[in-house]
Every structure is written in C-alpha cells, then in structure tokens.
Amino acid sequence: MQYGIIRMKTVFEKNIREQLISRIEQINEEKKSEWGKMNLIQMLKHNTYWNQWILGKNNQKYKQEFIGKIFGKIALKKMIKDEKPFDRNIPTSDQFKVKELNGNIESEKAEWISLINEYENFNNPNFIHDFFGKMTKDQIGILVYKHSDHHLRQFGI
C-alpha cells in the first residue's frame, strides 16, 4: 500500500507473508521476551487468537469501545502512517490477554502460520476493530503486519 512516497508493508503481499512465516519458523523454546509481560506461549496464543479475530473465525462479535469512537481513528492513523515499528509495551485489550502459561510451541506456530497464509484470500467485511473501529482493507493489512512484527521483535526475531 502506498501512503505518500513510502510503500508500507502489508500482510496482503505474498513476499511479506513469506517473510513473516520465515520469522515465525525461527521461534523455539530458547527465545525469551526482550520486553513486556508475555512468555513465549502467551505471545503465540495471543497472535493466533488475534489473527482469528481479524479473519472472522469462531463467530467473532465486533464492537468498537466508546473510547475508541473518540480517539480510535487518530490513533490508527498515527500507528500506520509510516514504517516505524509499534512502541514497546503498548496496551492490549483484555480479550487478547492470555493467562495460560503453557502450551505446545510447535502447534501454536503452525496455527499462526496457517492464519498468516489465509490473508491471501482475506474477506471479512464485518470486521470492526475494538478500538480503531471500521478499517479499510489496506489499513488492516498494514496493522496485521505491524502487529506480527511487533511480537516477533519482542522475542528477538
């Protein structure tokens, strides 16, 4: 996607999906968080659940929070206006906080990779971000890339 002169990375481009998948494949039990409160399995589960939400899996219900109706569009524009990665320790909605501390790393990686591949045929016209509200497909593609990149960088990948 093009904003001004900068070509933004988006999960809707095949080569970007391949880069993300290559990074996800590098995850192993030795990886430790460089910031934040999540352990590795929590980060993986967070990402699989978050991507299921974006993709419209599991009969998701979408509703924008009141505070998002006030500040959401401004925050979205700020977050996706350029190539700058997301800041460390940005807050997440309660629905995406994973309390489970244990799980199977390989199966979570496989699920995340499968979900990344599904963006090739993305079609979820009902999606409404809980804070940002209704988003264009281009905005979703950039947000998904930046969210994935954020968590991979969190674990040094």
Contacts of 73 (CB under 8 A, 6+ apart): 132, 133
- CA 74 to CA 10: how far, in whole Å? 20
pLDDT of residue 46: 96
Each residue's pLDDT tens digit, 91-140:
888 888 888 888 999 999 999 999 999 999 999 999 999 999 999 999 99
pTM, to two decimals: 0.92
- DSSP three-state, residue 72: helix
pLDDT tens readout for residues 71-95: 999 999 999 999 999 999 888 888 8
Q: Is 74 within 8 Å of 139 (Cβ atoms)?
A: no
Average per-residue pLDDT for the chain: 92
Work out the average pLDDT over 138-148.
97
On the question of pLDDT at 1 being above 60, the answer is no
Query: Is residue 31 helix, strand or coil?
Result: coil
Of residues 154, 63, 59, 57, the one with CA closest to residue 115: 57
